[in-house]
Amino acid sequence: MTKTKSTIAMLLGAAASMLAAAAFASSGGGSSADITFMGDWFPRLVNFAIISIVLVYFLRKPTRDFFKNRTAEIERSLRESQEARDKAVAALNDMERKIRELEAETKGLIAEAQARGEKDKQALFEEGKKAAKDVAEQVKVGIEIEVAKAKADLAVEASLLAVDLAEGKLKSSISKQDHERIVKEYIANVGGRG
């Protein structure tokens, strides 16, 4: 409806302008010699006043509505801009909060990893000590076994040497007659059992 009224007002203004132009043309356009205020300027001023009044009367409401609508659009744009700014500020604050939470979480994870690493290090150290102790125990047992084997070997070797030594002493201390007598006694003892 506002567009219709503004169109009508523009048509009326154009018609009034055409009437004023026709009135000016009908006056003969006048030459510079017979220009008088009442004869030439007064009708022009009256036409201008009529056109101005018609234009103001018909265009004031569309013009006022135009500026009112434009003001409303500007206010709406400002309000939307303010809302968008508020949303952007809220989003920025939310992102900053999330960044702070992420930094705190990262620090917590680092501290937890360090504590876990220290705990694992201590567990590995204890496990290493236990393994070293087990190896030392195994070495000790191995040494004891080797010492026992060496002692047994030495005992066998010593007994063989003792037997050899005793045999050598016996051979050197027994004469041929003693030897023959021992053999005869042995055969008699063995022969008597059979």
Q: Which amino acid is at 119?
A: K
What is d(CA 191, CA 169) in angstroms, rounded to the nearest whole number? 28
| Sequence-separated (6 or more) residues with CB below 8 Å from residue 35 | 41
CA distances from 98 to 112, 113, 151 (A): 20, 22, 77
Phi, psi of 29, deg, nearest 5: 75, -20
The candidate with the shortest Cα–Cα distance to 39, out of 18, 31, 51, is 31
What is d(CA 11, CA 4) in angstroms, rounded to the nearest whole number? 11
pLDDT of residue 60: 83
Q: For the full predicted model, state whether its pTM sits above 0.85.
A: no
- Give, for all 194 residues of the chain, the pLDDT tens digit: 566 666 666 666 666 666 666 666 565 554 444 556 567 777 888 888 888 888 888 888 888 888 899 899 999 999 999 999 999 999 999 999 999 999 999 999 998 989 898 888 888 888 888 888 888 888 888 888 888 888 888 788 877 777 777 777 777 777 778 778 878 887 888 865 54
What is d(CA 13, CA 67) in angstroms, rounded to the nearest whole number? 20
Residue 40 and residue 28 in contact, taking contact as beta carbons nearer than 8 Å: no
pLDDT of residue 83: 93
What is d(CA 187, CA 96) in angstroms, rounded to the nearest whole number? 116
What is d(CA 56, CA 71) in angstroms, rounded to the nearest whole number? 21
pLDDT of residue 87: 93
pLDDT of residue 19: 67
Q: Which residue has the tokens 């009508």?
A: 8
pLDDT of residue 84: 93
Torsion 160-166-171-172 (CA) sign: positive
Give CA angle at 101 (100, 106), nearest 5°. 100
What is d(CA 56, CA 53) in angstroms, rounded to the nearest whole number? 5
Tokens of 19: 């009437």
What is d(CA 194, CA 180) in angstroms, rounded to the nearest whole number? 21
